[in-house]
Structure 1
Amino acid sequence: MQHDGLLTLNILIKPADLKALQRDVWNEEYFPSKLVVDNIPYEIGITYRGDHIRRFRKKSYRIDFGGYNKDFQGREIHLNAEYRDPSLIRNKLSFDFFQSIGSISLECKHIFLELNGRPKGVYLQLESVDDLFLQKRDLPYGPIFYATTYHANFSLLTPSNNPKPSLLSGYERKVGNDEDNFDLEALIYKVNTIPRSGFSEEIARHLDIEKYLLWLCGVVCTQNFDGFIHNYALYQNGETKLYQMIPWDYDATWGRDWNGKIMEYDEVPIKGFNTLTARLLDVRDIRNQYRLHLEEILETSFTVAALEPQIINLHKQLRPYLSLDPYKKKSINLFDSEPELILQFISDRNSYLRNHLNDLI
């Protein structure tokens, strides 16, 4: 069944299992359930996903198929509630934007979720970043690490300037083996210890600098404040052995923070954050490369003219379902004002970044 174009996913779970799931939101155990789509049932396991979002009334879910599912083209999917984003489109808008500028990104689409036949509202269905994610993009198999906490800042210290308990603090390996852990430890150690004189040459043996700079442009434009130390996956190309970044959880963007509050357009500087970014932009040639990429993006992809059609289309697509979403139906007026807010942010952010391009000379 579809709600005016949105596919409906209905999850069927035993009442006792649902109570057990709700009793402990931090439990990672999968509960056996059924997912019904267009009258086709799929055996699944379900659990909550996310960090602070588990405390929200509208929960996000991780769905496990127990093996490869050809209809969903993966072993698992994520259903994001987008609870703190009054527009419900910031994640989708971000991932599509990353793709438009040449950075690797996720495929996602909005769906309507029901739980035991009861409406749970509009969700964003995202693919999992794993080995199948790589296969779909014809990328060589390689390790993938999720940046699960703010310790994933490429530093030897935590953001509060305390020594990290380990070099891998902040990361969770999704794909790979223990030897891959040593490679990531080596990367973080080198980022912090390579002398300035040899940094450019040495880091190029470990990092896809071009891809990193495109990712940096995406984070800086969308202004994901946490995106430099969290909210990303780190993939090491199995052939080149070079690392690159994959964005993740981008609802706190386009003029709002992770609480859904207004974030002014100048909160994130043009040079961004984290130790790796600082060291890269300390190199004149790399800094110039970043400036040229950003300059082009500010003229083409990150403009009101380029993004307004997508913003309006997404808003129109979701508008009929706000009244069906038990968590959003009281905030329809706020939803209706979001496109204008996002477009104003794009205009202001674009001007701000243009005015600071000289900081990169």
Structure 2
Amino acid sequence: MDNGIIIPEYQLFIHPLDLSELRKDIWCDDPISAKLTINKRKYDIDIAYRGSHIRDFRKKSYHISFNKPSTYRNTKEIHINAEFKDPSLLRNKLSLDFFNEIGCLSPKSQFVNLKLNGKNEGLYLELESVDEHFLKNRQLPQGPIFYAVDGDANFSLMSDLDKDIKKSLKVGYELKYGTEQDEFHLQKMIIEINTISKAEFENEIMKYLNVNQYLSWLAGVVLTQNFDGFVHNYALYQNSETRLFEVIPWDYDATWGRDVNGKVMEEDYLRIEGFNTLTARILDVKTFRRQYKNLLEVILNNQFNVDYLKPKIQGMHDLIRPYIQKDPYKKDDIHLFDKEPEYILNFIEARAKYIRGKLYSLN
């Protein structure tokens, strides 16, 4: 079931002195120089640890920028994720592929096997960076991109972190690509989300947001039960032609029945209405609510079901199993890895049943 896919080997070389510098402070974002060999081709790169809580894990995740040559497969940078807390190592890729299939812009991802200075570091998930190259590779109009980096990216005037009024509406976001003027547009949208009257909201919000696309994203987050996805772990892209914002999923490992620590998340943990100020206001509009309900029904019938997802899950599992057996951080948990396809499929069945049982609440 691997469809002829071969997992590439990434050979990373970091000078021992630079490696000890990198390991000295795991919270430092300053990159170090290194070399990466892929398919016998050598790249000069900058590398740093990535993520927040995941930096503490034994198996580290990395952010890589290409210097010479300056791009790799038409991208300037990639993210190499350890997926350390996910016993299946499948969830992030399964999620990002799923979002793509339901009509959302979504980063590409592929499994790679990493060697560091000759030592096997095991299986990783390479994630495409959401930046100007992401847009160019899809022939999309250029436009600003913001990363939602913490709980303050909640579309509210109130902070999700300290429960007080935000000192700036830029908090929670990192400008990945764009200008200060673009930050102004984002702040304007957040103000409008919170201040447009109920009577005007349906018409006015469509001047700022691609609502159809937002509802597809919302359906995806709710079905895969990504509890964290409402206030961070997404990117915002403003299409320069339509001037409308779109949401792009990012780093969706806390899904398919497990939380960010890999712990069991019952199928009814996340409500059908989701969270955050923007979602609440959108679902307060009857037209949008009905559209969302219809969308959920279509996805439940077509993509979010065992018949559709089982071959994908099993194929992915079969593809990476030989690498898990050799992964120094994961090989001792191969028995847990082998139980995960069934666990994920049981979650899909239970979650679908739960969502179907709640569709009436969107009438």
Q: TM-score, with normalisation over the residues of structure 1?
A: 0.97
1:1-361 counterparts in 2 under 5 A? 5-66=6-67, 69=70, 71-160=72-161, 161-361=163-363
- In structure 2, what is the Cα distance between the partners aligned to 1:40 and 1:273? 46
Cα deviations across residues 123-153 of structure 1 (Å, max 9, x unaligned)? Answer: 0011110011001111100000000001100
**Could you list the per-position Cα deviations for residues 212-268 of structure 1 after superposition, in whole angstroms to 9, with x for gaps in the alignment?**
000001100110000000110000001110001000010110000001100001111
- Deviation at 1:11? 0.6
Shift of 1:70: 5.0
After TM superposition, give the deviation of residue 39 of structure 1 in Å.
2.0
Q: Which runs of 5+ in 1 are unaligned?
A: none
SS of 2:346's equivalent? helix
Superposition deviation, residue 118 in structure 1 = 0.4
Aligned CA distance change for structure 1 residues 67 and 12 (closer, same or farther; 3 Å): closer
Q: Counterparts of 2:253 and 2:75 in 1: how far apart (Å)?
A: 23
Give the C-alpha shift of residue 69 in structure 1.
4.6
Root-mean-square deviation (CA), in Å? 1.1
Q: What CA distance in whole angstroms lies between the structure 2 residues aligned with 1:329 and 1:315?
A: 14
Contact 1:67–1:75 (8 Å) recurs in 2: no
- For 2:269 and 2:356, the matched residues in 1 are separated by 15
Aligned pairs, how many?
358
How far 1:5 sits from its partner (Å)?
A: 2.3
Q: Distance in 2 between matches of 1:239 and 1:118?
A: 48
Among the aligned pairs, what percent are the same residue?
Answer: 52
Q: Deviation at 1:322?
A: 1.3
Q: Matched residues in 1 for 2:68 and 2:181: separation? A: 25
- Would the aligned equivalents of 1:35 and 1:41 in 2 still touch at CA under 8 Å? yes
Alpha-carbon distance in 2 for matches of 1:288, 1:68: 50
- How far did residue 66 of structure 1 move? 2.5
Specify the code of the residue in structure 2 equivalent to 1:173. L
The worse-fitting range, judged by mean Cα deviation, of 62-71 and 38-47 is 62-71
Q: Which letter maps to 1:295?
A: E
Structure 2: runs of 5+ lacking an equivalent: none
Q: Is the Cα contact below 8 Å between 1:68 and 1:75 reproduced in 2?
A: no
1:323 Cα offset (Å): 2.1
- Distance (Å, rounded) in 1 between the aligned partners of 2:359 and 2:35: 52
Question: How far apart in 1 are the matches of 2:64 and 2:97?
Answer: 23
Task: Supply the AA of the counterpart residue of 1:233.
Answer: A
Separation in 2, partners of 1:295, 1:121: 39
Preserved CA contact (<8 Å) 2:44 2:68: no
